[in-house]
Amino acid sequence: MFTRLRLVMMCAISVAAFSLFVSTGSAAAAGEIKGEVVKAGSSIAIEGVEVCAYQLPTYELFACKETDINGRYVLSGLPEGEYIVEFWAPYLGFAPQFFNGVASYEEAEEIPVSGGPVSGIDAELEKGGAIEGRVSDASTGAGIKGVFVCAYSRVIAGNCVTTNPAGDYAVEGLATGSYAVEFSTESPAYPTLFYNQQSNPSSANLVTVTAPNVTGNINAQMGKPKVVVIPTPAPPAAPPAPRKHKAKTLKCHKGFKKTKRHGRQVCVKKHKRKKHHS
């Protein structure tokens, strides 16, 4: 991913290489670009804005310089050619901008340099928008400190921050546009994620920012979610087998006898048969 840190490193390498080139006896380039940076709609100078020149047609970062207390800068030692200039200060809350007042390098105005100074490459910076959210452990729900959160776009300069101890973050100084948001750490326990819970940047849900507004609740749950084991309910107990009642033997008292009536045994009184007298 193309981060500002990488831009600064490339800038340093480019400057060092150029210095080496000059020290070997080649003629030093005399071209320069200069201007001043103020707050939009005012004449208030902004100190500490990083101004960078990219050489065309390769868009190679050639030189960077911060504005002084008066908001002025000079990018010197530029070889003859065409450049675009970027003004970058999200750490001051301003949206990045390319000359002349556009957000993307594709729309940036080309600046020809042919050995002399090119002045009037000024900028009026506006307050940027922001993306906010929270990064938590998918298993415990606890916030994760130190997650590297980056908002970036194909043609608009983005920004990166790290989460605080509670897992909260705010990527500020963003120009109006759509951004992919990446969440990464150095821990193998937390594989890199993209919003919204995507593992691949091509499937990331883009987040829309409208400066100077804040787009919130861009959250991430990193790591493997806790496995909740739901116990299998025990099968219902089988109903008790009906008890078998042992049939009672009917006993008749003296003078009674057993007989069967309506399917049941009963005792009936014995009757002596009367003899018939003729």
pLDDT of residue 249: 63
Q: Which residue has the tokens 């507004």?
A: 213
| Beta-ladder partners of 193 | 183
Phi (first) and psi of residue 171, to 5 degrees: -90, 110
- What pLDDT, on a 0 to 100 scale, did the predictor assign at position 116? 87
For position 4, what pLDDT does the model report? 45
β partners of residue 180: 152
Computed on alpha carbons and rounded to an integer, the radius of gyration of the chain in Å comes to: 43
Please report the pLDDT score of residue 27 as a whole number: 45
What is residue 3's predicted lDDT score, i.e. its pLDDT? 40
The full DSSP string for 47-93 is TT-EEEEEETTTTEEEEEEE--TTSEEEEEEEPSEEEEEEEE-GGGT
**How would you write the pLDDT of the chain (278 residues) with one tens digit per residue?**
334 433 443 333 333 333 333 333 334 557 999 999 999 999 999 999 999 999 999 999 999 999 999 999 999 999 999 999 999 999 999 999 999 999 988 899 999 999 889 999 999 999 999 999 999 999 999 999 999 999 998 888 889 999 999 999 999 999 999 999 999 999 999 999 999 999 998 899 999 999 999 999 999 999 977 655 667 777 776 666 666 555 556 566 666 666 665 556 656 566 555 554 54
85-119: pLDDT as tens digits: 999 999 999 999 999 999 988 899 999 999 889 99
| Single pTM value for the model | 0.66
The pLDDT score that the predictor gives to residue 12 is 38
C-alpha to C-alpha distance for 17 and 181, rounded to whole angstroms: 34
Q: What is the pLDDT of residue 22?
A: 37
CA dist 41 and 78 (Å) reads 31
CA distance 149 to 179: 12
Nearest to 74 by CA among 118, 34, 121, 15: 34
Residues 165 and 143: beta-carbon distance below 8 Å: yes
Residue tagged 């307050």 (tokens): 127
Residue 156: per-residue pLDDT: 85
- DSSP summary character for residue 136: E
258-274: b (≥16 Cβ within 10 Å) or e: eeeeeeeeeeeeeeeee
